[in-house]
C-alpha cells in the first residue's frame, strides 16, 4: 500500500521560483533516493502561484523520518528558506484498494 503526502504552500515574498526549482531538482536527484522507502515526489504550480508537492513512500515509517533527512541536506535547507511556513498545509493519503 503506497503512502502519499500532499503539501501545499506559497513562497515567501521576494523568493525566487527558479531557486525553488533548483532545490527541488537536487532533492529529487540526490536526497530522496538515499532515504529508505522514498518512491518519488512531484512539484506542481497552481494557477494562483501556490505550489503543490506530492510525495510517495513505501510506508508510513519512511514518510515520518523524511524531514530529518531533508533538512539535514543543503537542498532541504534552501527549500525551507524559500517557503512561507504560514501558508503550509499537509495531508497524508493512503491508496484505496477495491
Q: How many CB atoms lie within 10 A of CB 49?
A: 9
The model's pLDDT over 26-79, given as tens digits with 9 standing for 90+, comes to: 999 999 999 999 999 999 999 999 999 999 999 999 999 999 999 999 999 999
Query: Per residue in 57-69, is it b (16+ CB within 10 Å) or e — as a string?
Result: beeeebbeebeeb
In angstroms, the Cα distances linking 30 to 11, 26, 40, 78, 82 are: 22, 6, 11, 14, 19
| Global pTM value | 0.89
* Domains assigned to the chain: 3-94 (3.30.70.100)
Amino acid at each position: 500500500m503506497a503512502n502519499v503526502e500532499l503539501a501545499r504552500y506559497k513562497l515567501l515574498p521576494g523568493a525566487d521560483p527558479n531557486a525553488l526549482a533548483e532545490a527541488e531538482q537536487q532533492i529529487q536527484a540526490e536526497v530522496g533516493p538515499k532515504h529508505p522507502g522514498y518512491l518519488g515526489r512531484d512539484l506542481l504550480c497552481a494557477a494562483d502561484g501556490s505550489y503543490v508537492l506530492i510525495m510517495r513512500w513505501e510506508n508510513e515509517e519512511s514518510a515520518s523520518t523524511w524531514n530529518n533527512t531533508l533538512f539535514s541536506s543543503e537542498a532541504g535547507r534552501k527549500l525551507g528558506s524559500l517557503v512561507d511556513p504560514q501558508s503550509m498545509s499537509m495531508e497524508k493519503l493512503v491508496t484505496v484498494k477495491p
